[in-house]
């Protein structure tokens, strides 16, 4: 499964968060495709991710996953996925080169080479250039400040919204843990009380065999 995220998404959410979104979308699409082709299959049940950040994969609900630092150099399937992603992007840039030939995307593949940066500063960016990345960001700040301010505002609002959602999620998790702890404490208390009652009852019962007394 390959997921393509347009430049506007990256500008709004930042490159790292967009990568996490892409991972989740890939898992979703692959799972649905597998289940759609064969309803008896389990679909995606385990995911290996590259990086040091939790991608927070929540679909399918029972999926297990792990993220590995430098996973593309340690795990063959992650390395293969990395190659597929790069080849897909390179092919896409060749297509964009035909639409925007002045930027020589077929040669630089969109990376900030010295020539590419000079072309952006001299010709101005095109529609697919990311507005939150230098030197494109600097160009908009100087030549089109209204667009620059709008993009920065949207990015800031999105970040604040995401932080609130993460905080709410953490609070929900804490509340669930507290509720679980309370239930466990109540169960422990009940079991302890039952044991104490049993011991007390046993201590009050007369012995089955009378104690032997000295003559």
What is the mean pLDDT for each group of 10 consecutive residues in the chain (215 residues)?
A: 93 94 96 94 95 94 95 95 96 97 96 95 95 94 96 94 86 66 67 65 58 49
Which alpha helices (H) appear in 129-144, and where do they start and end? 136-143
Query: What is the pLDDT, as a whole number, of residue 170?
Result: 79
Query: What is the pLDDT, as a whole number, of residue 169?
Result: 79
Contact 24, 55 (CB under 8 A): yes
- Whether pTM exceeds 0.85: no
Query: What is the pLDDT, as a whole number, of residue 198?
Result: 63
Task: List C-alpha distances in Å: 94 to 63, 134, 188.
Answer: 36, 22, 66
Task: Count how many Cα atoms sit within 13 Å of the Cα of residue 131 in the half-sphere of its side chain.
Answer: 24
Q: For 130-141, give one letter per residue: b (16+ CB within 10 A) or e.
A: bbbbebbbebbb
d(CA 124, CA 105): 15
Rounded to 10 deg, the angle between the 114-123 and 136-143 helix axes is 10
d(CA 123, CA 23): 34
d(CA 139, CA 118): 11
């Amino acid at each position: 499964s390959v997921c393509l995220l347009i430049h506007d998404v990256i500008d709004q959410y930042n490159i790292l968060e967009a990568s996490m979104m892409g991972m989740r979308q890939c898992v979703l699409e692959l799972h649905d495709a597998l289940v759609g082709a064969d309803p008896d299959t389990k679909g995606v049940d385990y995911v290996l991710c590259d990086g040091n950040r939790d991608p927070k994969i929540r679909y399918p609900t029972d999926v297990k996953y792990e993220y590995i630092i430098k996973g593309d150099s340690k795990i063959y399937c992650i390395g293969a996925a990395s190659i597929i992603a790069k080849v897909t992007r390179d092919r896409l840039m060749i297509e964009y080169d035909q639409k925007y030939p002045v930027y020589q995307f077929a040669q630089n593949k969109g990376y900030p080479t010295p020539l590419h940066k000079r072309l952006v500063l001299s010709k101005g960016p095109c529609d697919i250039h990311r507005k939150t990345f230098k030197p494109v960001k600097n160009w908009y700040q100087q030549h089109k400040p209204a667009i620059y301010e709008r993009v920065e505002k949207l990015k800031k609002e999105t970040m604040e919204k995401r932080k609130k959602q993460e905080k709410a999620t953490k609070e929900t998790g804490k509340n669930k843990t507290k509720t679980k702890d309370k239930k466990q404490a109540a169960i422990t208390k009940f079991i302890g009380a039952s044991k104490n009652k049993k011991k007390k009852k046993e201590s009050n019962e007369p012995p089955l065999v009378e104690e032997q007394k000295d003559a």
